[in-house]
Chains A and B, each alone.
Chain A
Amino acid sequence: MKNTLFTMLLLALPFLIYSQEKSQTGIPNVQIQNLDFTHFNTGDIENDGNPIIISFWATWCSPCKRELNTIAEVYEDWQDETGVKLIAISIDDTRNINKVAPYVNGQAWDYEVYIDPNSDFRRAMNVNNVPHTFLLDGSGKIVYQHNAYSPGDEEKLYELVKKLANGEAISH
């Protein structure tokens, strides 16, 4: 009962608090880390109005690495053709955090990679498990998402990216 009251109060609060600021994209603003462990705000993610892919992964997640290594082979073409940007969010915690940059460089990825060591951004994006990939349109709105990776998924993803780049609506 106490909990229910508290919850209702929480949900009523926004009526009481008047807030003018709006984030520029639909991406929640959470403080995570760059590959060199300096601070990064996810609210600063942007791509000049072009599509953005946000992919949650970890160094211990085989399908995640399979997905990102597969896309890495064609990433240059994707960028040239559509202007898309892929942002890889590692959810590795302290156990593996020091292996993230060596892995990313060891595989020669050209993605923007950030580390979310206590899963703050993962929670804000409601990710249950990895891999989980989001596609955002130029305004930062999530238009597609996919949980898990099977070989071939990248082609479906790229079809949607091309549609976005051509200004077509996405229905899935």
Chain B
Amino acid sequence: MRYLGVITLLIITTLNSQAQQLQDFLNDPGSIHGNFEMNTQYYQPDSSISAQQPPEELGFNGYLNLIYNRGNFEAGVRYESYQNALLGYSDQYEGNGIMYRYAKYKADNLEFTVGNFYEQFGNGQILRTYFDPGFGIDNSIDGVRVKYNLKGIYLKGLIGKQRNYFEYGDGIVRGLDGEVSFNELIDQWSSSPLRFTVGGSLVSKFQDDNSTLYTIPENVLAYSSRFNLNYKGFNLNGEYTYKYNDPSADNHFSYRNGQALLLSTSYSRKGFGITLSAKTLDNMFFRSDRNNNSQFPELYINFLPTLTKQHTYNLMSTLYPYAIQYNGEISYQADVIYTFKKGTLLGGKYGTTIQFNASYAANIDTVSLNDEATERKLYETNLFESGDKFWHDINVEISKKFSKSFKAKFTYQNLFYNIDVIQGKPGEPNVLANVVVADLLFKLDKKNAIRTELQGLFTEQDQKDWATVVVEWTHSPNWFASVIDQYNYGNEVVEDRQHYVTANVGYIKGGTRVTLGYGRQRAGIFCVGGVCRVVPASSGVSLSITSTF
């Protein structure tokens, strides 16, 4: 009988506390938010530009992200739908499914995540997982991640397998990262204008030796160290990564170790900024499946950026884009911005901004140790000497506001492009091009504006000269319409002197945007992860919707 009393009491207490929890939950049920994106296109055949119609006639990519938050708890999922994927995406994006879901909990200085996560160690040259639907990239790790920080010391550990479309990569990725911020660690330094941080990472991957030809290291280790120094307007940072032998399809099963070094410095004050960067690397392909050398960005563990300006004008960004050469590259970049003040001779009434940018990339100096016919490539190299030139880009951009209703931006670019190496077109001569752009913005009244771009690309090589005209009308805050015409007027083949005209109309309300388009798209080039691939020409109607809620 006595026990019964105790049990009853226990039950009542439990129920009470559960009722209390339920009450708490009802008072604060947390919040759900997310976003939605869909892109669809109906393809028409158009033989004049070699645009084909796929059997399903229609391409569709759709995504829905949902995040649930309550206090320190967070969970999220993303549903994806490819029926079938738009042209230019890997056909392994096929069907529907949830390949991204996670739960995360924060307890004081500790945070743990189970499921999928995106992570970056340092500048990413040893490890970076990220999501970029525009390029079809999702190399998220599915596993466990723990983060801990205490007074300027930041620690992260992770383990898992990488997503590859609707499957997982073969290898297991393990990583540790630590960073010390001395200004947070040492109280006396907390308000010092000198900011100093050092960090380091270890990343290792494991994959069974499934090769019949070679004895393969099953565990591959890489380490990285970095620093960041800031004093007022001055900054200097760098990261060095070393990767132990990682024979793979990407590097022709070379047992050579890999290295990468990136250094960057900048100085800025009001109205002036300068950035100088240099990078050198050798044998830095790092995927979690050694047999994967897909042209699509699959299973990359690391991320190495190109040290080149990210142009936005059509003829500068899509005809001859640079792609980083993971197997060996040395590159430099300088970027300067200067604003002439209002009221000065060059500044005029509103001020004038000039941006200058120059970048250069070449192969590292390499001496082959065997003949080119042998599949395994052995070589010696000097990381700090340039070999064959891949690229240069010298460009200057002047932005000026002439009046309340007229602004303009003028850009000139001189380009050197090793199309043989970058786009893998053996024997093609290097492309030398000059590009000019005038970008004019007329504000008609409080809500209406017209913007035009007049672009010209002049070259003796490849497809010769191009011109692009863009006219865009915007009606704030809800409407826009635009027409773009790209014209390959200089093409040697008369039938290939095509106009590629696309018209778009869009409606924006709050976090939602709907765009309807019709026209033809020339074959474009996407460069990701060291390779460029051609997205085929297409023609037809497209509809795109994005929404944040």
Contacts and interface: CB of A to CB of B under 8 A. Distances in A.
Given A6-B101, A118-B130, A106 B476 contact: no
Interface in B90-132: 97-98, 101-103, 105-106, 115, 118-120, 123-125, 128, 130-131
Contacts of A18: 21, 24
A105 B512 contact: no
Interface string B72-106: 11110100000000000000000001100111011
Q: Which of A15, A128, A155 has the most CB of B within 10 A?
A: A128
Interface string B450-490: 00000000000000000000000011110010000000000
Nearest to A108: B270
A44 B210 CA distance: 50
Contact of A129 (B106, B339, B439, B546): B546
B430 interface: no
Interface stretch (B8-16, B30-38, B371-379): B30-38
A106 B353 contact: yes
A62 B101 CA distance: 33
B477 A21 contact: no
B548 A93 contact: no
A21 B67 CA distance: 18
A24 interface: no
The DSSP consensus for interface residues of chain B is strand
Contacts of A123: 65, 118, 131
B124 A7 contact: no
B273 A128 contact: no
Interface stretch (A45-53, A80-88, A94-102, A161-169): A94-102
B303 A94 contact: yes
Interface stretch (B41-49, B50-58, B230-238, B532-540): B230-238
Interface residues of B, number: 96
B337 A152 contact: no
Contacts of B101: 3, 6-7, 10
A10 B103 contact: yes
B353 A107 contact: yes
B365 interface: no
A151 B183 contact: no
B154 A39 contact: yes
A147 B546 contact: yes
Nearest to A23: B71
B197 interface: yes
B275 interface: yes
Contacts of A98: 235, 237, 264, 266, 275, 277
Contacts of B511: 132, 145-147
Contact of B71 (A22, A28, A103, A108): A22
Contacts of B449: 150-152
B389 interface: no
Nearest to A62: B312
Nearest to B448: A152
B446 A128 contact: no
B548 A14 contact: no
Interface in B471-515: 474-477, 480, 506, 508, 510-513
B312 A60 contact: yes
Interface of A: 3-4, 6-7, 10-11, 13-15, 17-22, 26, 28-29, 36-39, 59-62, 66, 93-99, 101-108, 117-120, 123-129, 132, 144-148, 150-153, 155-156, 172
Given A99-B266, A118-B124, A128-B37, 12 more contacts: A4-B98, A15-B25, A17-B73, A19-B71, A19-B72, A21-B72, A29-B106, A38-B184, A105-B270, A108-B339, A126-B65, A127-B35
